[in-house]
Structure 1
Amino acid sequence: MRMIGTLSQKNQARKFSDFLLVNGIPNQVEEEADGYQLWVRDDRHLSAAERFFSEFQSNPEAEAYRGRGASAGAIRAREERLAKRSPVIDVRTHWHRLDTSVGPVTGILILLSVAITLLAMADRSNELLDYFFITRYDVVGPYLQWSGGLPEIRHGQIWRLVTPIFIHSGVLHILFNMLWLKDLGSELERRQGSLYFSILVLAVAILSNLGQYLLAGPNFGGMSGVVYGLLGYCWIRGRYDPSSGLSLNQGVVTMMIIWFVLCWTGLIGNVANWAHTFGLVAGMAWGFAAAKLRR
Structure 2
Amino acid sequence: MKWSSALRVPLETDLTQFLPVLQQHGIGHRVTEESGEQVLWVATAHAVEVQQWYQQFVSGEQLPEPQWTYLPAQAANYRPAGFVQQLRRSPATAAVLIACLLVAFITQLGDNLQTISWFTFNDFRIQGDYIFFTPVAQGLEEGQWWRLWSPMLVHFGLLHLAMNMMWYWELARRIEYQQGWLFLLALTLVAGLVSNVSQFMFSGPSLFGGLSGVLYAVLGHCWIYQRIYPQASYALPKGVVAMMLIWLLLCLFGVVTALGLGQIANAAHVSGLILGCLSGALFAQVARQRAA
Q: Which residue of 2 aligns with 1:278?
A: 271
Are the structure 2 counterparts of residues 283 and 143 from structure 1 closer, same or farther at C-alpha, using a change threshold of 3 Å? Answer: farther
| Structure 2: stretches of 5+ with no match in the other structure | 39-50, 66-75, 258-262
Are the structure 2 counterparts of residues 146 and 186 from structure 1 closer, same or farther at C-alpha, using a change threshold of 3 Å? Answer: same
Alignment of 1:106 onto 2:99: no
Q: Which residue of 1 aligns with 2:143?
A: 156
SS at match of 2:86: coil
Matches of 1:122 and 1:74 in 2, distance apart?
52
How many residues align? The count is 245
* Structure 2 contact 110–154 (Cα < 8 Å) conserved: no
Q: Which residue of 1 aligns with 2:6?
A: 20
Q: 1:263 corresponds to which letter in structure 2?
A: C
Match of 1:37 among 2, 14, 18: 14
Shift, 1:20, TM fit:
3.4
Matches of 1:243 and 1:78 in 2, distance apart?
24
* Structure 1 contact 153–161 (Cα < 8 Å) conserved: no
Alignment of 1:232 onto 2:214: no
State the superposition RMSD in angstroms: 3.9
Matches of 2:107 and 2:189 in 1, distance apart?
22
SS at match of 2:121: coil
Matches of 1:275 and 1:268 in 2, distance apart?
16
Q: 1:166 corresponds to which letter in structure 2?
A: L
Shift, 1:291, TM fit:
1.4
Alignment of 1:199 onto 2:186: yes
Matches of 2:123 and 2:181 in 1, distance apart?
32
Q: 2:62 corresponds to which letter in structure 1?
A: E
* Structure 1 contact 135–151 (Cα < 8 Å) conserved: no
Matches of 2:145 and 2:104 in 1, distance apart?
20
Shift, 1:243, TM fit:
4.3
Moved more, 114-123 or 174-183: 114-123
Are the structure 2 counterparts of residues 237 and 194 from structure 1 closer, same or farther at C-alpha, using a change threshold of 3 Å? Answer: same
* Structure 2 contact 109–156 (Cα < 8 Å) conserved: no
Matches of 1:105 and 1:230 in 2, distance apart?
13
SS at match of 2:234: coil
Moved more, 174-183 or 35-44: 35-44
* Structure 2 contact 177–233 (Cα < 8 Å) conserved: no
SS at match of 2:14: strand
Shift, 1:107, TM fit:
1.0
| Structure 1: stretches of 5+ with no match in the other structure | 1-18, 22-26, 59-69, 93-97
Q: Which residue of 2 aligns with 1:220?
A: 208
Matches of 2:13 and 2:109 in 1, distance apart?
51
With normalisation by structure 2, the TM-score equals: 0.70
